[in-house]
Amino acid sequence: KITTNYNQNEDNINVVVRVRPLSKKEMQRGDTQIVDFPGNGQIMVGDYWGNVHLLGSPIWFQVDHCARTGSDSHKPKRFSYNVVFEPGATQEDVLQFSGMKRLISMAIEGFRCTCFCYGQTGSGKTHTLTGPPGLIGTRTVPYSENHGLIFRSFQYLFQQIQLQSDTHFVLKASYLEIYNEKVIDLLNSGSLRKPLAVRWSKKACGFFVENLFTVDCEELDDLIAVLEEGLRNRSIGRHNMNDYSSRSHTILTVHISSELPAENGVFISRTGKINFVDLAGSEMTKKTQSQGKMLEEANNINKSLMVLGYCIATLSDPKKRSSHIPYRDSKLTKLLADSLAGNGATLMIACISPAKSNACETVNTLRYAARAK
Ligand code: ADP
Ligand code: MG
């Protein structure tokens, strides 16, 4: 069900792939599953097939026919991922085996961490992060197998914090949306739709959103309330919710500060954070590229996604890692810069559909994800 292949302690950008099940709608219209796992760790995507080597060597795809996606290359490609979640994998599997728990532990220790979901609209990004829409109001429901990664991470975070009883923790959370390069606060409904500025400061150790509402969270319920409030505000007043959410990114951030008493009345203080990012649909990247539009137009549709891909690909290439990384080219990458580089850690969850009708986007997502490894 899950194939792993990683040394997560060494990499600061980890990539996992999650394949959602074929939906009822897809089955009804006669769509078929073309992403397959024929055992032995193999992955097949239609004409694209590949072997997954268990533990130790990378998972790879060999592309033996590219005409269908209009790709320029007919050479075999090596794609490598850390973990592959097959359609039967549960929400809890994703928490347990994606490397998310390590990210949370790192954030507690003072690192800046990001978990983001990438993939075409309908591939399961929001499902993976927050679960199905009906789960808003979950505070009254103690447990559902549908609870997403954010909810589960919050629970795990509090469990970990409670284990460190001699350390004093302060948690704060914020939730924002980036739509068309405008940053909108999802927690302060008074300022809803009034864009906020992204600035850089030495004190903040990087980029930050000016006047962003930050909520003190003493208990697990407070964090969950932040998630619910953001989800609620995200869905208010949107004529075409699907269209809107497929074109916007949301970032839920938990800031974790701690003080541990050391010798002679001295305290060791640490400040880490963790971002949960639900990205815009990846089909947007293709649209801007395939229509030959240049950066200004990509700016209107979804520049951030392209810049993020470029930053990650550059960071993942040991030869280019020390060269210029264009974080400043989009709001999204500005806000994620500290966790992408430096001492941070990033988990990318590439979400794909198993359906034949989505084959091209699926291969594009696998390529994008492989570039990040
Ligand atoms: P995205 O956010 O990438 O646009 P969604 O998360 O909204 O996609 O998923 C699209 C549909 O597929 C939703 O109805 C969702 O509930 C369903 N879905 C996605 N992933 C899974 C999964 N792993 N198991 C069951 N249903 C899923
Ligand atoms: Mg979504």
pLDDT: which is higher, 127 or 194: 127
Structure-token match 């409670």, residue found: 162
pLDDT value of position 19: 92
Pairing of the two strands 168-179 and 182-185:
antiparallel
Q: Which atom of ligand 1 is nearest to the CA of 133?
A: 16
Contacts of 296 (CB under 8 A, 6+ apart): none
What's the burial of 77, exposed, middle or buried (CB within 10 Å: 0-12/13-18/19+)? middle
pLDDT: which is higher, 183 or 62: 183
pLDDT value of position 21: 94
pLDDT: which is higher, 163 or 239: 163
**Nearest ligand by distance to the CA of 354:** 1
What pLDDT, in 10s, does the model give residues 218-267? Answer: 999 999 999 999 988 887 655 555 666 778 899 999 999 999 888 888 88
What pLDDT, in 10s, does the model give residues 5-20? Answer: 444 344 678 888 899 9
Calculate the average pLDDT of the chain: 78
Q: Tell me, in angstroms, the distance from the centre of ligand 2 to residue 202's CA.
A: 34
Q: Which atom of ligand 1 is nearest to the CA of 351?
A: 3
What's the burial of 2, exposed, middle or buried (CB within 10 Å: 0-12/13-18/19+)? middle
Nearest one of 9, 226, 177, 206 to 112, comparing CA atoms: 206
Q: Which atom of ligand 1 is nearest to the CA of 132?
A: 16
Pocket test for ligand 1, best of 28, 127, 351 (most atoms within 8 A of CB): 127
Q: Tell me, in angstroms, the distance from the centre of ligand 1 to residue 24's CA.
A: 12
pLDDT value of position 355: 87
Q: Tell me, in angstroms, the distance from the centre of ligand 2 to residue 133's CA.
A: 10
Asked which of 174-183, 323-332, 337-346 is least confident by mean pLDDT, the reply is: 337-346
Nearest one of 6, 1, 228, 202 to 100, comparing CA atoms: 6
Beta strands (DSSP E) in the chain are 2-4, 13-19, 35-36, 43-45, 48-52, 59-63, 83-85, 112-118, 168-179, 182-185, 198-201, 206-209, 215-216, 248-261, 267-278, 345-352
Residue nearest to atom 23 of ligand 1 (CA): 20
What pLDDT, in 10s, does the model give residues 101-149? Answer: 999 999 999 999 999 999 999 999 999 999 887 665 555 556 788 999 9
29 has a pLDDT exceeding 70: yes
Instruction: List the structure tokens of 238.
Output: 């949107």
Pocket test for ligand 1, best of 1, 20, 352 (most atoms within 8 A of CB): 20
Q: How confident is the model at residue 173 (pLDDT cuts 50, 70, 90)?
A: very high
pLDDT value of position 14: 84
Q: Tell me, in angstroms, the distance from the centre of ligand 2 to residue 161's CA.
A: 30
2 has a pLDDT exceeding 70: no
Using a pLDDT cut of 90, give the percent of the chain over it.
Answer: 41
State residue 59 phi and psi, 5-degree precision.
-75, 135
What pLDDT, in 10s, does the model give residues 301-341? Answer: 567 888 898 888 888 777 777 788 888 889 999 999 988 87
31 has a pLDDT exceeding 80: yes
Mean pLDDT calculated for residue range 198-221: 92
Residue nearest to atom 22 of ligand 1 (CA): 20
Mean pLDDT calculated for residue range 183-205: 84
What pLDDT, in 10s, does the model give residues 271-307? Answer: 999 999 999 988 866 554 444 444 444 455 567 888 8
**Nearest ligand by distance to the CA of 20:** 1
pLDDT value of position 219: 92
What's the burial of 108, exposed, middle or buried (CB within 10 Å: 0-12/13-18/19+)? buried
Q: Tell me, in angstroms, the distance from the centre of ligand 2 to residue 245's CA.
A: 6
356 has a pLDDT exceeding 70: yes
Task: Report residues whose beta carbon is within 6 angstroms of any ligand 1 atom.
Answer: 20-21, 23, 119, 121-127, 132, 351
- If phi > 0 it is left, if psi is from -120 to 50 it is alpha, else beta; for residue 160 that is alpha
Q: Tell me, in angstroms, the distance from the centre of ligand 1 to residue 123's CA.
A: 6
Q: Tell me, in angstroms, the distance from the centre of ligand 2 to residue 334's CA.
A: 22
**How far apart are alpha carbons 320 and 314 in whole angstroms?**
6
**How far apart are alpha carbons 28 and 99 in whole angstroms?**
35
Q: Which atom of ligand 1 is nearest to the CA of 87?
A: 23
350-352-358 Cα angle (round to 5): 140
**Nearest ligand by distance to the CA of 234:** 2
Q: Tell me, in angstroms, the distance from the centre of ligand 2 to residue 278's CA.
A: 7
**Nearest ligand by distance to the CA of 241:** 2
